[in-house]
Amino acid sequence: MSRRTPTLALLALAVGAFGIGTTEFVIMGLLPDVADDLSISIPTAGHLVSAYALGVVIGAPLLAAVTARMARRTVLIGLMVLFVAGNALSAFAPDYDYLLAARFLSGLPHGAFFGVGAVVATTMAAPERKARSVSLMFLGLTVANVLGVPAATAIGQNFGWRVTFLGVGVIGLAAIASLALLIPHDRTAAPVAGLRGELAALKSLPVWLALGTTVAGFGALFSAYSYIAPMLTDSAGYADSSVTLLLALFGVGATIGNLLGGRLADHAMRGTLFGGLVSLIVVLGAFPLLMSTPWSAALAVMLLGTAAFVAGSPLNLMVMERASTAPSLASSANQAAFNLANAGGAWVGGLALAAGFGVTSPALVGAGLAVLGLGVAGTAYVVDRRRAVTRPVAGRERVVASHMPEPVEAVRH
């Protein structure tokens, strides 16, 4: 395999991530257009966001599990075919119910694609570059927030929302071609554990602690980000027309955090995770102050993206390492946890708003969730340390009991 092949393969994965990121978030900017066209209310149209998220949560572990014995290159291409079909059906949906089902279908391959793609990225990378490779794949997702979503939203507003979904489908076709040409046949075969082995790996406590860290940590992000628009307009004094540009700043921050987190995690995975969560606590805790002036509010939006996504690559890598016999399923489950964080964070942040605690109160709730995430991550660290101490002892006890000389492997582990 040439030295360029891993880079090109990561590019193919990033193209797929770009398409997925665009279709996930563009619907939020097109809700008024969809509502007008289908003669429904905007709150009803908002269920299209939930339908996609539900598809991610259900599809991530399900598709990863049922494709456990298939070659990962084949799985990735198949998932993108499903993605293209979902967006094409969305474009030609004759009514709301049909569109709701199509959005659910579009969300099904989301988590499994990122889960399997992360495994492929780490398989092709040198041991000291695994987290960086994962971050490069997720670069497509963060860049989608900077370029893909604003462009797709503008297309939908000027030429119709159906054209947007057709355009996203074309991105999916480009991803299929890229995956077929650039993902190598070797080094991507799935392990022989199969479905039973993959499911058994999820019984591990460290895996669930890592998933819990994702739910709490990214729930902190979405508690604030879900209500960033009213914070910018009501607290910082921005006009409604400025919000789209400011949200692009979040994408810039997320891209920086994603690349930074990947690079740092290759040197200190746990330290990078803790640092990202602590940074998120600080940024969210300072939101009421930062949202008091326009310039500091813009800075806060970018810092929010940076702090949150620094923790992304180490979290994904930690989940895969804790479920070494089922990395595809575990990584896909992490994407489901991310979407649970999206829904749960928005719900908890909304409770603070409804209770009348002020427009920036969801950020303070998010800071509390980040503290919880840091606590769960700390618990995972303690569990890992205890297991590392007890494993060698257990190995020596078995050797002594057999009255055999202790093998070199027992000492090494």
Of these ranges, 131-135, 182-186, 274-278, 330-334, the one predicted with the greatest mean pLDDT is: 274-278
Whether 89 and 206 share a structural domain: no
pLDDT band with cut points at 50, 70 and 90 for residue 154: confident
Q: How many domains does the chain have?
A: 2
Phi, psi of 186 (to 5 degrees): -85, 165
Query: pTM here?
Result: 0.77
Rounded to an integer, what distance in angstroms lies between the CA atom of residue 132 and that of residue 183?
Answer: 18
Task: Using the Cα atoms of residue 30, residue 33, residue 37 and residue 41 in order, give the sign of their dihedral.
Answer: positive
Whether 295 and 323 share a structural domain: yes
- What pLDDT is attached to residue 199? 64
Six-digit token string for 144: 């989608």
Instruction: Compute the average pLDDT of residues 248-255.
Output: 90
Whether 95 and 3 share a structural domain: yes
Q: Spell out the residues 6+ positions from residue 130 whose beta carbon is closer than 8 angstroms to its own.
A: 121, 122, 266, 317
CATH label of the domain that carries residue 277: 1.20.1250.20
Whether 176 and 263 share a structural domain: no
- What pLDDT is attached to residue 324? 65
- Residue 204 region by backbone torsions, left for phi larger than 0, else alpha for psi between -120 and 50, else beta: beta
Q: Cβ(47)–Cβ(100) under 8 Å?
A: yes
| Helices 327-354 and 205-225, axial angle in degrees (round to 10) | 40
Domain region containing 312: 201-413
Q: Evaluate whether residue 380 is within a structural domain.
A: yes
Q: Evaluate whether residue 196 is within a structural domain.
A: no
Instruction: Compute the average pLDDT of residues 359-372.
Output: 95
pLDDT band with cut points at 50, 70 and 90 for residue 195: low
Q: What is the DSSP letter of 240?
A: G
What does the pLDDT look like over 26-37, one tens digit per residue? 887 788 888 899
Q: Evaluate whether residue 210 is within a structural domain.
A: yes
Whether 241 and 180 share a structural domain: no
